Structure formats: structure tokens, C-alpha cells
Chains A and B, each alone.
Chain A
Amino acid sequence: MFFLTYLQRELRRRARQAVFIALGLALGVGLVVTVSAASAGVNKAQSKVLSTLYGVGTDVTVTGGNPGRPTGAQATPPPVVPGKSFSNILLSYAAVSASKAAQVAQVAHLSGVSAAAGVLSFSDVSMTFGSGSNPPVVNSLTIDGVGTGRPSLGPLSGATLISGHAFTTADSDAAVAVVDSGYAASHSLKAGSAVSIDNVKYTVIGIVRQPQQGGTPTDVYIPLARAAEAVAAAGWGAQANDVNTIYVSAASAADVSAVSREISALLPGTTVTTASSLASEVTGSLSTASKLINDLGRWLSVLVLIAAFALAALLTMAAVARRAREFGTLKAIGWRSRRIIAQVLGESLALGVAGAAAGVGLGFAGAAIIAAFAPALPATVTQNDGSGVAQVQQASAGSSLSGTTSHVVSVVLHPSVTIGVIVLAVVLAVAGGLLAGVLGSWRISQLRPADALARVA
């Protein structure tokens, strides 16, 4: 009780200085909280960008290389006849492995892998030759052949069903399709309508909306077995029996790197992509914001925190020096140095706690300001052949798939203050206060009572 009374009275006596110290600590802590919240928001935004490309829950994607050219009827380009149309099935990537073994099952059984799903991505590209000097008209339908029994992993994992129903295991060999909402709207499709892929009719059983903004989702999803048939019929040979993309979910974030290495060893010649490798491909305002926050923001908050600590220490040492005679008197009447140090530490701790509370408040306010006023930031991911999911925008007859594809996604920053950051902030502020107290009280504890009493008050 005496301890608290003495503490409270002393802080009240030097209230202005106490407020100054607490505010300094609050500023440093608030900056740390705000920067951490913004950084978390940016990381979340980047994950969102990346998840639009390869779906929710995917930690690693495995894609084949250049698919080369089909054999059979598609191998020979048709004659150019004005007004005549033809269509080609074009693979997005080569098959993941040349062997006919169940690569997806092999990957699923790797250490650190919790699930794996295979997809066969291709396009149905139709071209109508123009008359005279008119260019040909190209229409492209992008298709993903997906497993019907694992909706939680793969291109449909993040989709929202808006009408009809999703695939069931009973649909594994059926001529049914789930259609993207954008494609359905532009072609007036609904559940029960028909969509044609390489002259084969598929019944639309469901319409989904993908969580993308500005990107180009796949138009149609059909069962994997049906996709294999379509690709085989188009003359792609053995590649029709395999998938050309494997979506992999790791058991934990810590397993991603090891899983990535294992898959590369198991499936040489494929491109194994993780979120961190894709993150380096993200450009645009989001990327700039990420650099600003993670580099400049962090350094700035560290510098401000150091300055706040130094200020707290100096002011505390000055205050303790001014109380030299007071402490000398207390020593004279029998107070041990430990008790005097505890008193000073208590005062500093109180200021640290006050600074922490104010700092967390400032941090929340900073995060709220960012959330309220930060504009939507565009992010662009540009990918080369066989790297990640590339969507065919346009293909001409006889040409192999090549070139780069860019996805532009616009995201809004949602800074989030986590419990961990709050705890860190409190620890930092309290540590700052205690450091100031230790530095201030140590000198006095070393002073002989006679010397302390001789100091002018």
C-alpha cells in the first residue's frame, strides 16, 4: 500500500514528464502495431491474389511443361476457307509425368502432404476464317477436368455455388458440367442448359462464382475422365491419361518447402510452385505497398521505438538524479537499495503499462485509418510457360502454347491486429519502461548515502 501510494504521488508530481515518457512509448508501440497490422493485411491481400490463381487451400501446384503439338487429325492445320470454322483442343500444359502411374496418389502419399488433387486443363479453341482481308474470329473456351470427389482442393475449392449443384462422385464419368457465372451470363446458360466441348454436349448441373476480381476464371468444369476423353479424341495421345496440374495441400506451413522438394524429386521436369515463389511475381501497387510496409515501415517503427526507449531512459535517469537527496535520506533511515530500486522500477513499469495501453489504442486507430482510407490496390501476376496456372486467351491453329499471361487483381487492404502483436506491443513498452527504470535506479543504488545527502535538492 505504501509502495503504491509513494509511486502514485511521485508520478503525479512529475505528471508532465510521465505523460511525455508514456506518450513516447505509446508512439513507438503504436507504430509497431500499425505496421504489423498493415503487413498482415498486405500478406493477406497477396495470399488472396495468389489464391485466385490456384484456389483456396492449395500450398503447392505442380504443372507440366510445354505440351508440344497434338497428333492425329489436329496435327494437320485445315485449309483456309473463308467463312469456314474449325476447332482445336489445346492443352494448357504437358502431362505431369510421362508414366501412366497414379502421380496424384504418389504425391498425396508424400511426407508432409495432407491432400492432392489432379486437374487436366485445356481449351476448346474455335476459329472462323474471315473473308477477304478480314482477320479470323477466334473463340476460346477454357476447361478444367476436375475430380468429382474432392471439392476442397483444386480450382473449385474457393468457388461459391450460386445455382444448381456441384459435382458428386456419381458424376465421375457423366457428361455434365459446372459453369462459371461470368461465362453462363454471357451465354445465357443456366442449370439444365447444354454446353458443347469439341462437339460433345455437356449438361450444365451448376453455376459457380469464383472469388476473382479482374482475373479470368475457367469457363467450364467437367469430370476428369470426360476431360481425358476429350483430350484423347483431339489426338493428344498418352497425355490424355494424365493430369497436367496437381494441387497440393501441405500438412502445415512449415512443411511446404520440404513438400516442394519431394515433388520436384518425384516428378522431374515439372514446375513446382509455392505461394512464396509466386509472391515474388506479384507486381503493381500491392507489391509496392508490401515493400513499403515491410521494409520502410518496419525500420521506421524500430527507430521510433529505440528513440522512445532512449527518451524514457534519459528522462528517468534525470528524474532519479534529481531525487538523489530523497533516496539518500531513505537509505539513511534504513531503506535498502533494493527497495529504492523497486520503487523506481515500479514507477517506470507503471509508465510502460500506460504507454502500452495507449500504444495499442494508437495501433488500432492506425489500422482503422488504413482500413478506412486505403484505396484498392491493383496487383499483377505475370507468369511464363508452365509456371502456375496460365489461361489461354487466344491461340491460333498449329501453334503450341507459349508466351506469358498476366492476371490483374484488385484488392482492398484489411489490416488486422492480432493477439500476438498486442502481446508484443505490451512487452516492448513494459521492457522500455523497465529498462529506463533499471538505468535510472542503478546509479542511485551505487551512491553512498553521505554522497547522496550532499547533493543539492
Chain B
Amino acid sequence: MYKLTGVTKLYHKGRRVVPAVRDLNLTIEDGGWLAVQGRTGSGKSTLLNLLGGLDRATEGSIKLDGTDLGTLREEPLTRLRAGSVGFVFQTFNLVATLSAAENVEAALIPLGVGHSARRERVAAALEQVGLADRAAHLPSELSGGQQQRVAIARALVKEPKVLLADEPTGNLDEDTRNDIIALLERLWSDRGLTLVLITHDTAVARRAQRTGVMNKGRLTVGQTPAPPPGRPR
């Protein structure tokens, strides 16, 4: 469970101080799905970075299962990310020189998983995202949607508690976007993940349990309206 209390993140640009996140209070239950919308520069990505321990809050506390991320030094924070947090980025962020399988395998390296166990888990992860036959392909040989599937496989191969997705469909066409969101929804449901998803797309946001709106660093969270009949939540 995530518990954010009075979280503020300030950036110093020369003499100017830019508040990216202001006095944010938020609780995300285990297995919950929060979608966060907002304009560009509203602080959405900053919030995601704080949740994932990629950045540190200027004020306040961010607790994940009772552990205050702000009190952890770099190494334990990295270990926590390695085992518990998966990331999916808008630009996929695959290593260009590694194949799909090797990109997924990269997530298991910090966990000290043995070679044959790594191969098995990588194969299973790629199978889950429907890319078992693309394991040896480089990112440059995959479509945008396929690359994002590889990124999702990389995020989930370590069986994290939390999946943080920063505009995972931002660079994809509509059909591919729907496929990716459907995949994420299925995985969230099957694995009981805690999912926080940043999106511009209201249609995507509506599929979440809760929707939040970031505006100038402040987050307003509401319950997502029920979907129209015939559409899953």
C-alpha cells in the first residue's frame, strides 16, 4: 500500500523555485488501479518518479508498505525497485543493442537469478505478452506496440508488487493503444498488481478504478465513473 503525506517536490531552476508537486496526500491500496491525468507540466511524471523512488520528495513522506522511501539510501532504494516496482515508459526505453529477451532478462540481473531460471522466466513473460516468437529480435526490428509489450514483459518478469506506467500508450496508434491497455488491465487483474498509470487519454483513464487529475502540482482523486454497459472496468 502506498501512503503519501504532505508530499512536495520543488525544483530549483537558477533563482526560480518550481513546485512540481504540492502538499500531496494520497493512499493507494494494494491491488488498486489509479490513473492520473493532467496537462503537460502538471506534475504527473514527477509523482510517478516519487512513487518509484526515482526521485526524492522535498517535503513529506512516501511510504510503501510502511517503508518511508525518503529515508532509504540509494542502494536499498535501488534494491526495492529491483524487487518490487516495475516501470513502463512512454518511449519504451529498451536497450537498443539487446534483443527482446535480453531486455526482459536485464530486469532479473539485479535479483541474482540464475541463468537457466532467467531464461525460463523471460520466455514465460514474453509468452504472456504474446511475443514469444520475437525473443531474438532487436527493438529496431519491432513495431511500437511490440516494443511496449517487451517493456511490459520487462516490468512484470520480476513479479513486482507495483507497476508504474508513464503514458504507456502515448506513442502508439489507437488500435495498438487499446491492445496495450487491455494487456495491462488483464495483467493487473490476474496478478493483483498495484497499478498507477499516467495518461492524457480520458478513455484510458476511465478503465482504471480511480482517476486523479493533477493540476499545478495538486492532485484531486475521485472514483472513476462506472463504464457504460458492456464495457469492463
Given contact pairs A2-B105, A5-B102, A329-B89, A334 touches B96 in the complex (Cβ within 8 A): no
Partner of B93, one of A13, A329, A335, A337: A329
Give the contact stretch, choosing among B74-82, B123-131, B183-191, B225-233.
B74-82
Q: Check A333 for interface membership: any CB of B closer than 8 A.
A: yes
Residue of B nearest to A337 (CB): B74
A452: shortest Cβ distance to chain B, in Å?
9
Given contact pairs A6-B97, A9-B97, A329-B95, A335 touches B110 in the complex (Cβ within 8 A): yes
Complex interface bits, A316-352 against B, C-beta within 8 A gives 1, otherwise 0 = 0000000001100111111111010000000000000
Contact residues, A401-416 vs B (CB, 8 A): none
A331 to B106, CA, bound (A): 11
Question: In the bound complex, do residue A332 and residue B52 qualify as a contact, i.e. CB atoms below 8 Å apart?
Answer: yes
Q: Check B16 for interface membership: any CB of A closer than 8 A.
A: no
Partner of A333, one of B49, B55, B74, B107: B107
Question: In the bound complex, do residue B49 and residue A450 qualify as a contact, i.e. CB atoms below 8 Å apart?
Answer: yes
Residue of B nearest to A12 (CB): B97
Question: In the bound complex, do residue A2 and residue B109 qualify as a contact, i.e. CB atoms below 8 Å apart?
Answer: yes
Question: In the bound complex, do residue A450 and residue B54 qualify as a contact, i.e. CB atoms below 8 Å apart?
Answer: yes
What is the size, in residues, of chain B's interface with A at 8 Å between Cβ atoms? Answer: 32
A191 to B83, CA, bound (A): 94
A325 to B46, CA, bound (A): 16
Contact residues, A1-45 vs B (CB, 8 A): 1-2, 5-6, 9-10, 12-13
Question: In the bound complex, do residue A333 and residue B95 qualify as a contact, i.e. CB atoms below 8 Å apart?
Answer: no
Q: Check B111 for interface membership: any CB of A closer than 8 A.
A: yes
B110: shortest Cβ distance to chain A, in Å?
4
Partner of B115, one of A1, A6, A331: A1
Q: Check A449 for interface membership: any CB of B closer than 8 A.
A: yes
Question: In the bound complex, do residue B109 and residue A448 qualify as a contact, i.e. CB atoms below 8 Å apart?
Answer: no
Question: In the bound complex, do residue A457 and residue B91 qualify as a contact, i.e. CB atoms below 8 Å apart?
Answer: yes
Q: Check A207 for interface membership: any CB of B closer than 8 A.
A: no
Question: In the bound complex, do residue B97 and residue A339 qualify as a contact, i.e. CB atoms below 8 Å apart?
Answer: no
Enumerate chain A residues within 8 angstroms of B87, measured Cβ to Cβ: 329, 332-333
Enumerate chain B residues within 8 angstroms of A334, measured Cβ to Cβ: 78-79, 81-83, 107, 110-111, 158
Residue of B nearest to A7 (CB): B97
A329 to B110, CA, bound (A): 13
Enumerate chain A residues within 8 angstroms of B10, measured Cβ to Cβ: none
Question: In the bound complex, do residue B54 and residue A330 qualify as a contact, i.e. CB atoms below 8 Å apart?
Answer: no
Centre residue among A6, A334, A337 by max chain B CB count within 10 A = A334
Q: Check B149 for interface membership: any CB of A closer than 8 A.
A: no
A453 to B109, CA, bound (A): 20
A438: shortest Cβ distance to chain B, in Å?
19
Question: In the bound complex, do residue B93 and residue A325 qualify as a contact, i.e. CB atoms below 8 Å apart?
Answer: yes
A339 to B102, CA, bound (A): 16
Enumerate chain A residues within 8 angstroms of B98, measured Cβ to Cβ: 5-6, 9
Question: In the bound complex, do residue A335 and residue B109 qualify as a contact, i.e. CB atoms below 8 Å apart?
Answer: yes
A333 to B111, CA, bound (A): 10
Q: Check B218 for interface membership: any CB of A closer than 8 A.
A: no
Residue of A nearest to B75 (CB): A336
Enumerate chain A residues within 8 angstroms of B96, measured Cβ to Cβ: 13, 326
Complex interface bits, B149-185 against A, C-beta within 8 A gives 1, otherwise 0 = 0000011001000000000000000000000000000
A326: shortest Cβ distance to chain B, in Å?
6
Contact residues, B25-52 vs A (CB, 8 A): 46, 49, 52
Question: In the bound complex, do residue A336 and residue B78 qualify as a contact, i.e. CB atoms below 8 Å apart?
Answer: yes
Residue of A nearest to B155 (CB): A333
A12 to B98, CA, bound (A): 12
Question: In the bound complex, do residue B89 and residue A333 qualify as a contact, i.e. CB atoms below 8 Å apart?
Answer: no
Enumerate chain B residues within 8 angstroms of A2, measured Cβ to Cβ: 102, 105-106, 109
Enumerate chain B residues within 8 angstroms of A453, measured Cβ to Cβ: 49, 54, 89, 93
A332 to B107, CA, bound (A): 10
Question: In the bound complex, do residue B54 and residue A333 qualify as a contact, i.e. CB atoms below 8 Å apart?
Answer: no
Complex interface bits, A254-267 against B, C-beta within 8 A gives 1, otherwise 0 = 00000000000000
A148: shortest Cβ distance to chain B, in Å?
77
A353 to B46, CA, bound (A): 43
Complex interface bits, B50-78 against A, C-beta within 8 A gives 1, otherwise 0 = 00101100000000000000000011001
Contact residues, B82-104 vs A (CB, 8 A): 82-83, 86-87, 89, 91, 93, 95-98, 102
A9 to B94, CA, bound (A): 14
Centre residue among A335, A337, A450 by max chain B CB count within 10 A = A450
Given contact pairs A449-B54, A450-B49, A333 touches B82 in the complex (Cβ within 8 A): yes
A394 to B88, CA, bound (A): 98
A5 to B119, CA, bound (A): 15
Question: In the bound complex, do residue A333 and residue B110 qualify as a contact, i.e. CB atoms below 8 Å apart?
Answer: yes
Question: In the bound complex, do residue A336 and residue B110 qualify as a contact, i.e. CB atoms below 8 Å apart?
Answer: yes
Question: In the bound complex, do residue B78 and residue A331 qualify as a contact, i.e. CB atoms below 8 Å apart?
Answer: yes
Residue of A nearest to B118 (CB): A2
A336 to B110, CA, bound (A): 8
Enumerate chain B residues within 8 angstroms of A335, measured Cβ to Cβ: 78, 82, 106, 109-110
B163: shortest Cβ distance to chain A, in Å?
12
Contact residues, A426-456 vs B (CB, 8 A): 448-450, 453
A337 to B75, CA, bound (A): 9
Enumerate chain A residues within 8 angstroms of B55, measured Cβ to Cβ: 448-450
B100: shortest Cβ distance to chain A, in Å?
13
Enumerate chain A residues within 8 angstroms of B115, measured Cβ to Cβ: 1
A395: shortest Cβ distance to chain B, in Å?
84
Q: Supply 27 A–B pairs (Cβ within 8 Å), ascending by A.
A: A2-B105, A2-B106, A2-B109, A5-B102, A6-B95, A6-B98, A9-B98, A10-B97, A13-B97, A325-B93, A326-B96, A332-B54, A332-B81, A333-B82, A333-B86, A333-B87, A333-B154, A334-B158, A336-B78, A337-B74, A337-B78, A339-B109, A448-B54, A450-B49, A453-B49, A453-B89, A453-B93
Residues of chain B touching chain A, judged by Cβ–Cβ distance below 8 Å, are 46, 49, 52, 54-55, 74-75, 78-79, 81-83, 86-87, 89, 91, 93, 95-98, 102, 105-107, 109-111, 115, 154-155, 158
Q: A333-B110, A449-B49 are in contact. List 17 more A-B contacts (CB 8 A).
A: A2-B109, A5-B102, A6-B95, A13-B96, A326-B95, A329-B87, A329-B93, A331-B54, A332-B81, A333-B106, A333-B155, A334-B82, A334-B83, A335-B78, A335-B106, A339-B110, A450-B49
Give me the 8 closest cross-chain CB pairs, A-B, nearest first. A334-B82, A9-B97, A450-B55, A334-B110, A449-B54, A329-B93, A450-B49, A450-B54
